[in-house]
Structure 1
Amino acid sequence: MELELEGPNLKSVLNRLRRAQGQISGVIRMIEEGRDCEDVVTQLAAASRALDRAGFAIIASGLQTCVADIDAARANGEDAVQIRTRLERLFLSLA
């Protein structure tokens, strides 16, 4: 399955990922500096949410591609159970 994000969708996903990258760098720095555990966990949770949102945005933007891939999988002989399992695994990977 190829990732096809366009214009504003791509920019939004990249912004979320850059934000998460900055937050993770901040968490590393906080740990190295021996900062308060609560502050570190709060920052780590924010990074996790940013990554989750980026993943959900990618899935939402790529849903049309996923549907096209399902049609291609059917044409290649995959049955409905195999296709459902693949899609379920994809969505659950972000749970």
Structure 2
Amino acid sequence: MELDLAGAELKAVLNRLRRAQGQIAGVIRMIEEGRDCEEVVTQLAAASRALDRAGFAIIATGLQQCLTDIEDGRKNGEDRDAMRARLEKLFLSLA
């Protein structure tokens, strides 16, 4: 299954990933500077949420595309149960 993000979706996902990248860089700096544990964990949690949201946006787009593919009859030889199992595995990887 190829991922085809539309312009707005792509921009939103990339923004979330860049935010997470900046937060992770900040966490690294904070650890190197010996900053307070609570501050470090707070920033780490924010980065984790940003990554989760990006992942969920990608999965939601993938689900939408898969449903469209099924409706259009373009399953590329993959049966409905196999596709469902694969999407379930992707979704659970973020849970």
TM-score normalised by L of structure 2: 0.84
Distance (whole Å) between structure 2 residues aligned to residue 14 and residue 84 of structure 1? 26
How far residue 5 of structure 1 moved from its aligned partner, in angstroms, is 0.5
Runs of at least 5 residues in structure 1 that lack an aligned partner in the other structure:
none
Q: Is the 2:63–2:87 contact (alpha carbons within 8 Å) kept by the matching residues of 1?
A: no
Structure 2 equivalent of residue 58 of structure 1: 58
Post-superposition offset of 1:66: 2.2
Question: CA offset at residue 60 of structure 1?
Answer: 1.6
CA drift at 1:61: 2.1
Residue 86 (structure 1) aligns with:
86
Q: Partner letter of residue 62 of structure 1?
A: G
Distance (whole Å) between structure 2 residues aligned to residue 31 and residue 13 of structure 1 = 27
State the distance in 2 between where 1:36 and 1:30 align: 8
Q: Distance in 2 between matches of 1:57 and 1:93?
A: 14
1:38 equivalent in structure 2? 38
Structure-2 change in CA distance of 1:18 and 1:66 (3 Å): same
Residues 5 and 34 (structure 1), Cα distance of their counterparts in 2 relative to 1, 3 Å cut: same
CA RMSD of aligned residues (A): 2.0
Partner AA of 1:89 in structure 2: K
The normalised TM-score by structure 1 is: 0.84
Shift of 1:72: 4.7
SS at match of 1:4: coil
Conserved 8 A contact 2:19-2:47: yes
